[in-house]
Structure 1
């Protein structure tokens, strides 16, 4: 039972501490690393909750035999380290809760993907009717509002309105197109979908709602960085301001309507030097965040294996 309590305490602690660290200013300087951090943090919390239920139920799960064999320990000793004063009922309740949450997550994800796929199919059908193919490879729609967005899925589609073409310079248009193509090449919509599935399933957990919002903004910053070099940041900022009145269709990703003011300020501010090794540090922290729950879940079994080893190695007592 100690393992389950430690895992729940870990999930509660890391959710608050990790979010506090990830929302600091460094995340806007290294948005890709920050995205990895938010995804690892969210996954770590979910993993800890899942393993807590497994730890409570281990005394009656078949995997106890495989775990004992893997660690070269006696099954009875391993089971003793996971037993609870209340018997099997905490494990049964934990597995039931996990089964319900896993079912909700699967249903929410499937429903969201199905709805998003339907929306994108209908939007592509509409674009085939009202859109015109531009020689540069994107689709142009006749619209009085400046709009630029991409439609993920399949080969991907980038859409600009005629109003956007009129107000953007050639260089600004290239930067906006580069921004949208970065979304498509990097499949940013999958990261948003993962965060959105956790947010919708665990509505009572503030971490997942914040992770969704932060990842959405950080993905836009990542696309900004990929599209513009140091000399073009102000041009891209000007393009974002020019496109600020546009609204993207649902299920699309747009350059201008996600944290536009925050991104314009970031693009027009003097670029701050990036700390060397920031990506490596975040990567190491992400690995640790995913490894700690596994270590906490296995700790009682490892301790049991160590005890068995010591008892077998002890010399027989002499009378």
Structure 2
């Protein structure tokens, strides 16, 4: 029950607090980590709730007893529910179905993305031409700039984009795309997208995917520009317009462009020391709290000294009889 309450609270109240936090926009990389930790923590809590309910009849109880130095009977008593084994059976069935759905959905997403990128690379080999500045040019009057992650990574400019961008703007947009490739933002989007497709009726995962899609663009903006260059990058975003891009590609435009332009033209927020470490610690807490809740009964069982069995070596040799030594030999219940 505590794990399910935590999952509900984190998925509603936690998501609301994170969505309204201003520091997320000021530090987009930390915001990505926070959204990933929150969504992963909810999934972990639900999985551990099912395992905790089913622990009395799972082989895992023997391993847990050995690791903690407690009796298996004591471990079972601490995890047993008034309804018997049925909560564990139902929980395992539901969790197995959800886990299978998540694995299948993630596999389909990865295959679709890989296929789309492979087709795009094959097309670029036929119609693209290399540019001396390290990107590929495609003849198209529509101004588009995007990158294809995976492998060495490929940045693509259309001829229309080269016509409307100045050299400084072109370098900034190129730095934006390289920021995507270095940080592997595609992995964060695949992770959040798989959760959204697997559980489409849960608002948390849809909200996390939308925010992460915006934050990866802001993080790439920060990687490409600083100081006066931020306004030049904003002018490049306005010049490129909506910036439609192919499937499975990451682009400089097309995602929250207006919000990003306002952010780039506003005075940059002052950097706060230790923010990254604080967010990292928060992510560790979010991921470890469900584990701590799930292990709390087992730790309490292990702390009960009255249920421990003494090993043969713990009995004083002068006072131990053969029958006492035999009775006090270690055993697994």
Give TM-score scaled by structure 2 length: 0.90
**Cα distance in 1 between the residues matched to 2:265 and 2:90:** 54
**Aligned residue in 2 for 1:299:** 296
* Farther off after superposition, 234-243 or 72-81: 72-81
Q: Could you say if the C-alpha distance between residues 245 and 72 of structure 1 is closer, same or farther in structure 2, counting changes exceeding 3 Å?
A: closer
Instruction: Tell me if the contact between 2:61 and 2:76 (Cα under 8 Å) persists in the aligned partners.
Output: yes
Structural mapping, 1:1-319, within 5 Å: 5-23=1-19, 24-307=21-304, 309-310=305-306
**Ranges of 4+ aligned residues in structure 1 off by more than 4 Å:** 310-313
Instruction: Tell me if the contact between 2:242 and 2:257 (Cα under 8 Å) persists in the aligned partners.
Output: no
Cα shift readout 1:212-257 (whole Å, capped 9, x = no counterpart): 0111110100100000011200000000011114200111001011
**Cα distance in 2 between the residues matched to 1:249 and 1:86:** 53
May I ask how many residue pairs the two structures share in their alignment? 308
**Cα distance in 1 between the residues matched to 2:22 and 2:151:** 35
Higher Rg of the two aligned structures: 2
* 2:301 partner SS: helix
**Cα distance in 1 between the residues matched to 2:40 and 2:90:** 22
**Cα distance in 2 between the residues matched to 1:16 and 1:278:** 24
Q: CA deviation at 1:110?
A: 0.8
Instruction: Tell me if the contact between 1:58 and 1:79 (Cα under 8 Å) persists in the aligned partners.
Output: yes
The gaps in structure 1 that reach 5 residues or longer are 314-319
Q: CA deviation at 1:17?
A: 2.5
**Cα distance in 1 between the residues matched to 2:18 and 2:216:** 14
* Higher RCO (Cα < 8 Å, 6 or more apart): 1
**Cα distance in 2 between the residues matched to 1:200 and 1:25:** 28
**Cα distance in 2 between the residues matched to 1:112 and 1:270:** 38
**Cα distance in 1 between the residues matched to 2:226 and 2:267:** 13
**Cα distance in 1 between the residues matched to 2:181 and 2:31:** 20
**Cα distance in 2 between the residues matched to 1:14 and 1:43:** 10
**Cα distance in 2 between the residues matched to 1:32 and 1:226:** 10
**Cα distance in 1 between the residues matched to 2:225 and 2:16:** 29
**Cα distance in 2 between the residues matched to 1:166 and 1:62:** 66
**Aligned residue in 2 for 1:317:** none
**Cα distance in 2 between the residues matched to 1:8 and 1:245:** 42
**Cα distance in 2 between the residues matched to 1:174 and 1:275:** 28
Cα shift readout 1:74-108 (whole Å, capped 9, x = no counterpart): 11111011111121111111111111111111111
Q: CA deviation at 1:310?
A: 4.7
* Farther off after superposition, 21-30 or 50-59: 21-30
Instruction: Tell me if the contact between 2:129 and 2:137 (Cα under 8 Å) persists in the aligned partners.
Output: yes
**Cα distance in 1 between the residues matched to 2:247 and 2:308:** 65
* 2:137 partner SS: strand
**Cα distance in 2 between the residues matched to 1:74 and 1:171:** 69
* 2:157 partner SS: strand
Instruction: Give RMSD over aligned pairs.
Output: 1.2
**Cα distance in 2 between the residues matched to 1:156 and 1:146:** 20
Q: CA deviation at 1:25?
A: 1.3
